[in-house]
Structure 1
Amino acid sequence: MRHARDGAAAAMSAASRILVARGKNEPQEMENPDVAWGQRARDGVWVPTRDGQRIHLGIDVAAADTVAQILRPSLRVFVGVDVDTDIVAQTTASGVRLLTVIHGPDAPAEFRFNISLADGLALESMPSGGYDVVHLRYGATVGRLYNPWASDSMFRQVKADYTLEGTAVTMRVQHSDAYYPVVADPNYER
């Protein structure tokens, strides 16, 4: 049990340092009763859309049965979800962040998130590199998966982007020349 707590502390420390360096415009952690987290990484999270529907973001990782360490109702850590990788999951006022903490060069460079959409919703690619959740009947954007950013421990930008295959979004992080830990941020907001 001590190892898991140490892992959570290391992931939180890395994520916190980089978020503080990024500044005030970052979405802040807070409780949101419309967000429902599963117990394991594979269970992911149910998040609201602007039109009152919900979508599901599943975390598809090697250790998908990893149980979250719940630090606060709005903050949980999935320690060791893959080689040298943890996920710090935050609830925000309008969505969630899945801060992916990469601790070393043996960590994967791709992280997959399975997205289940309600009927009548679709993912639409945006020029920014993110994806909008669009209501097909009205053409309205009801949610957004922002283009990911990544930063290393020297606060240097690390290239990160998404690819889409069906409704599975893969975040690619080119961390081979980075100073570890690297933090990458998939961020969904309604």
Structure 2
Amino acid sequence: MRHARDGAAAAMNAASRVLVARGKNEPQELENPDVGWGQRAKDGVWVPTKDGQRIHIGLDVGAGETIAQVLRPSLRVYPGVDVDTDIVAQTTANGIRLLTVIHGPDAPAEFRFPISLPDGLALEAMPSGGYDVVHLRYGATVGRLYSPWASDSMFRQVKADYVLEGQTVTMRVQHADCFYPVVTDPHYSR
């Protein structure tokens, strides 16, 4: 089994390589006092909406007790959250990224993110494959979970999508026959 520090370094290296290859249009890591991370993976993160409310995005992972390795206030790594899987969690100016790093074929193909919304907000599926957080009274979009992308170590696109089961968004990643590590990016922004 990998040492947690080695896992964090491998996850950071894989995520960094893919983000650099994707280019400058990626959301940049930035401190955001409106984002509140939990200490353990299962604690998830509280993120702001455009109307001043906060929603909770959970990380439903096999090793939910995994403690975050905080590298700086806007960057943390949850090493070994599941078989052959790490999460590199970034705070951005308007939300978060949950860069999920899949290291091998034994890693899960589905990752669950339970979402808790305050009264008056709902998730609405978008044609892009993402979900908008919608204010029910006004019909306004106050947050967005962008459609996931995934890339293998050869920078080839890997099929990834979301399905909604109740209040849980499940990201499905078809990583069989890929070159590892595979990096995928659930990304929320207000």
Under a length normalisation based on structure 1, what TM-score does the superposition of the two structures give?
0.99
Please state how far the C-alpha of 1:150 moved relative to its aligned partner. Answer: 0.1
User: Per the alignment, in what secondary structure is the counterpart of residue 16 of structure 1?
Assistant: helix
Are 2:137 and 1:109 equivalent residues in the alignment? no
Distance in 2 between the 1:57 and 1:41 partners?
11
Q: How does 1:29-178 map to 2 (within 5 A)?
A: 29-178=29-178
Q: Spell out, residue by residue over 1:77-136, the C-alpha distance to the aligned partner (whole angstroms, 9 max, x if none).
A: 000000000000000000000000000000000000000001100000000000000000
Q: Give the letter for the 2:68 counterpart.
A: A
Distance in 1 between the 2:132 and 2:177 partners?
31
Please state how far the C-alpha of 1:184 moved relative to its aligned partner. Answer: 0.4
Distance in 1 between the 2:178 and 2:55 partners?
33
Could you list the runs of 5+ residues in structure 2 that have no partner in the other structure? none
Q: Give the letter for the 2:185 counterpart.
A: D
Please state how far the C-alpha of 1:152 moved relative to its aligned partner. Answer: 0.1
Q: Give the letter for the 1:183 counterpart.
A: V
Match of 1:184 in 2: 184
Moved over 4 A (4+): none
Distance in 2 between the 1:103 and 1:3 partners?
14
Distance in 2 between the 1:21 and 1:129 partners?
23
Match of 2:12 in 1: 12
User: Per the alignment, in what secondary structure is the counterpart of residue 17 of structure 1?
Assistant: helix
Normalized per residue, the structure richer in strand is 1
User: Per the alignment, in what secondary structure is the counterpart of residue 52 of structure 1?
Assistant: coil
Q: Give the letter for the 1:149 counterpart.
A: W
Q: Give the letter for the 1:71 counterpart.
A: L
User: Per the alignment, in what secondary structure is the counterpart of residue 18 of structure 1?
Assistant: helix
Distance in 2 between the 1:84 and 1:3 partners?
12
User: Per the alignment, in what secondary structure is the counterpart of residue 107 of structure 1?
Assistant: coil
Q: Spell out, residue by residue over 1:16-51, the C-alpha distance to the aligned partner (whole angstroms, 9 max, x if none).
A: 000000000000001000000000011000000000
Please state how far the C-alpha of 1:62 moved relative to its aligned partner. Answer: 0.4
Instruction: Supply the RMSD in Å over aligned alpha carbons.
Output: 0.7
Please state how far the C-alpha of 1:4 moved relative to its aligned partner. Answer: 1.1
Matched residue pairs, number?
189
User: Per the alignment, in what secondary structure is the counterpart of residue 112 of structure 1?
Assistant: strand
Please state how far the C-alpha of 1:177 moved relative to its aligned partner. Answer: 1.2
User: Per the alignment, in what secondary structure is the counterpart of residue 144 of structure 1?
Assistant: strand
Q: Give the letter for the 1:147 counterpart.
A: S
